[in-house]
């Protein structure tokens, strides 16, 4: 599902109105009625009281006027407050404002702080507030009376439903540009916007409902500018094909996991088991020779291959030849490898010489931080890297704070300049492609902030890449299912008690939930 900025939303409106021929008044009517439907679904009991509809002077206010009219026509007590002067309301918004007048619905004009203070006591007695003050067009911080309006509404304790965006947020950035409404629900129009899906803006949006107002999907998909999408179950579900009855293990790919070192064999186990649980036909763990028996004893389903090792129990550059001799469709490298100089030489040699698609994680990323230029994908060989913010910061010579403040830009810049796929892990994991497309993952929770969950993701990506033979699809599917498994684990174990091996047990159920094959628990 496409995520739009302000300019793209304006262009979507323009194209729909001028080139397709759907009148702007129809779009505004659709928006208002969709908001009312959301109110009825989420706040039915509160509609028995009085609803305060706070409207601005522009199109967002026009949507609010439609909401107020629709509520009144259904017998719901709606009080309308125009934050501004009636004389400043024009266009479609004015049409709907005038309709309210002809229907006998009173609109209170609030053009200064004194008037606001006079009428806020009325608003404070309402059971629900609709925020229709500012939409996607806001570009600067709120000031003057609006600061008071926002502060008073937020302090009221009354549930707030915002139209399109909580007033005070900008559609062009997830960062706060000033004070904003703290909504309990946001009904966003046509498509989500960045501050509704990324922190810190998302914390002010509440539950997000995406309202279809009549703008065709084809229009949204054709818009120029940043191509950012929110992963959805409907899109991800299409990537999973049922297995043929006569399938055999060779149909689902051979994965080699290069992982582990003395004291860190658990990382190898987690990655390899995640690959098996994600459907890979055959999984081999290539690990330092002294670690092999430990890894082999953890799961009989795994094959193992010994690699030459250093006195510290880590892989050495000579192990590259062993990997090149092995048969596989995908190679994943990094979990628990260690950071000895020999590990860096091994990873560099693997990247330079292997022709198999590579998934690089953890130590395989860190050891290349001094020479990130070696990380370059090729037309005939995809590379996927899966850094957490600290690893990404080391890779680009920056700070974690800077990476976190610019997650989309950082991931996109590295992906496009190095012609590879970047999965920047964390809350709302970012997937950036070599072509500059960005995907944001909505699944997952804070309980996954525990050692080993990244190793699980590495194995999942490798397995799905071996099956789908499509790097972008494998990234999207693995990241979505990884978070979904975390959400199922949270339901069973809670966030605090969650550990990485719990995710392994929930990978199958997560896939079943996605494809509609979950067991009926009723």
Residues shown for the chain:
522
Q: Which CATH number is 182's domain given?
A: 3.40.50.10260
Please indicate, yes or no, whether residues 211 and 273 belong to a single structural domain of this protein: no
CA 273, distance to chain mean position in Å, is 25
Is 521 inside a domain boundary?
A: no
Q: Which CATH number is 343's domain given?
A: 3.40.1190.20
pLDDT band with cut points at 50, 70 and 90 for residue 438: very high
- Report the Cα–Cα distance between both ends of the chain, in Å, rounded: 31
Q: Is the pLDDT of residue 213 over 70?
A: yes
Q: Is the pLDDT of residue 521 over 90?
A: no
How far apart are alpha carbons 318 and 114 in whole angstroms?
Answer: 78
Please indicate, yes or no, whether residues 299 and 162 belong to a single structural domain of this protein: no
Q: Is the pLDDT of residue 289 over 50?
A: yes
Please indicate, yes or no, whether residues 315 and 262 belong to a single structural domain of this protein: yes
3 state DSSP class of 191: coil
Q: Give residue-wise pLDDT tens across range 42-98.
A: 999 999 999 999 999 999 999 999 999 999 999 999 999 999 999 999 999 999 999
How far apart are alpha carbons 343 and 2 in whole angstroms?
Answer: 40
H or E element at residue 509: helix 500-515
pLDDT of residue 517: 77
Is 287 inside a domain boundary?
A: yes
Please indicate, yes or no, whether residues 394 and 468 belong to a single structural domain of this protein: yes
Tokens of 163: 């139209």
Q: Give residue-wise pLDDT tens across range 382-420.
A: 999 999 999 999 999 999 999 999 999 999 999 999 999
304 pairs with which residues across the strands? 285
List Cβ neighbours of 15 (8 Å cut-off, separation of 6 or more). Answer: 219
Q: How many domains does the chain have?
A: 2
**Please, are residues 501 and 484 in contact by the beta-carbon 8 Å criterion?**
no
- The residue-averaged pLDDT of 164-185 equals 97
Q: Give residue-wise pLDDT tens across range 116-162.
A: 999 999 999 999 999 999 999 899 999 999 999 999 999 999 999 99
pLDDT band with cut points at 50, 70 and 90 for residue 226: very high
Tokens of 112: 């200064």
Q: Give residue-wise pLDDT tens across range 195-207.
A: 999 999 999 999 9
pLDDT band with cut points at 50, 70 and 90 for residue 274: very high
The full DSSP string for 382-445 is: -EEE---HHHHHHHHT--HHHHHHTHHHHHHHHHHHHTSEEEE-STT-EEE-TTS-EEE-----
- The residue-averaged pLDDT of 98-104 equals 96
How far apart are alpha carbons 474 and 208 in whole angstroms?
Answer: 27
Q: Is the pLDDT of residue 522 over 50?
A: no
pLDDT of residue 380: 85
pLDDT of residue 379: 84
Is 240 inside a domain boundary?
A: no
pLDDT of residue 378: 87
**Please, are residues 68 and 93 in contact by the beta-carbon 8 Å criterion?**
no
Is 243 inside a domain boundary?
A: no
Domain of 160 in residue numbering reads as: 2-226
pLDDT band with cut points at 50, 70 and 90 for residue 519: low
Q: What average pLDDT does the chain have?
A: 96
How far apart are alpha carbons 258 and 363 in whole angstroms?
Answer: 11
How far apart are alpha carbons 485 and 88 in whole angstroms?
Answer: 51
Is 148 inside a domain boundary?
A: yes
How far apart are alpha carbons 210 and 428 in whole angstroms?
Answer: 18
Question: Which of 237, 181, 220 has its CA nearest to residue 484?
Answer: 237
């Amino acid at each position: 599902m496409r995520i739009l900025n302000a300019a793209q939303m304006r262009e979507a409106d323009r194209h729909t109105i001028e080139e397709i021929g759907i009148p702007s008044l129809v779009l505004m009517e659709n928006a208002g009625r969709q908001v009312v439907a959301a109110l009825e679904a989420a706040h039915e009991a509160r509609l028995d009281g009085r609803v305060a509809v706070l409207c601005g002077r522009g199109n967002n206010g026009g949507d609010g006027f439609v909401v107020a009219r629709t509520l009144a026509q259904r017998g719901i007590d709606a009080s309308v407050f125009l934050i501004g002067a009636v004389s400043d309301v024009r266009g479609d918004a004015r049409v709907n404002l005038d309709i309210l007048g002809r229907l006998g619905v009173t609109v209170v004009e609030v053009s200064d702080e004194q008037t606001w203070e006079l009428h806020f006591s009325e608003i404070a007695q309402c059971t629900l507030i609709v925020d229709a003050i500012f939409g996607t067009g806001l570009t600067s911080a709120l000031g003057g009376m609006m600061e008071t309006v926002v502060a008073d509404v937020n302090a009221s304790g009354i549930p707030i439903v915002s139209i399109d965006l909580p007033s005070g947020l900008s559609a062009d950035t997830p960062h706060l540009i000033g004070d904003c409404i703290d909504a309990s629900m946001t009904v966003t129009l046509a498509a989500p916007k960045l501050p509704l899906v990324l922190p810190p803006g998302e914390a002010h949006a509440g539950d997000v409902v995406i309202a279809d107002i009549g703008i065709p999907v084809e229009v949204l998909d054709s818009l120029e500018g940043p191509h950012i999408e929110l992963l959805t179950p409907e899109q991800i579900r299409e990537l999973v094909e049922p297995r043929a009855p006569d399938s055999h293990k060779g149909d689902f790919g051979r994965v080699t996991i290069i992982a582990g070192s003395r004291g860190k064999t658990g990382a190898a186990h987690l990655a390899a088991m995640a690959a098996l649980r994600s459907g890979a036909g055959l999984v081999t763990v290539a690990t330092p020779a002294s670690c092999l028996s430990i890894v082999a004893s953890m799961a009989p389903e795994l094959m193992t291959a010994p690699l030459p090792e250093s006195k510290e129990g880590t892989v050495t550059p000579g192990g590259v030849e062993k990997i090149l001799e092995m048969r596989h469709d995908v190679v994943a490298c990094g979990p628990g490898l260690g950071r000895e100089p020999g590990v860096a030489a091994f990873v560099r040699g693997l990247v330079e010489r292997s022709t198999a698609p590579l998934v690089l994680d953890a130590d395989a990323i860190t050891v290349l931080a001094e020479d990130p230029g070696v990380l370059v994908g090729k037309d005939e060989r995809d590379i996927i890297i899966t850094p957490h913010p600290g690893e990404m910061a080391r890779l680009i010579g920056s700070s974690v704070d800077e990476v976190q403040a610019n997650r989309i830009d950082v991931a996109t810049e590295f992906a496009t300049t190095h012609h590879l796929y970047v999965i920047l892990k964390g809350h709302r994991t970012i997937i950036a492609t070599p072509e500059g497309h960005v995907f944001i993952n909505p699944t997952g929770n804070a309980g996954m902030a525990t050692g080993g969950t990244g190793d699980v993701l590495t194995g999942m990506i490798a397995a799905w890449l071996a099956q789908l033979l499509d790097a972008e699809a494998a990234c999207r599917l693995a990241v979505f299912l990884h978070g979904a498994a975390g959400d199922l684990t949270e339901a069973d174990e809670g966030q605090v008690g969650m550990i990485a091996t719990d995710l392994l047990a929930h990978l199958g159920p997560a896939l079943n939930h996605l494809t509609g094959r979950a067991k009926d628990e009723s």
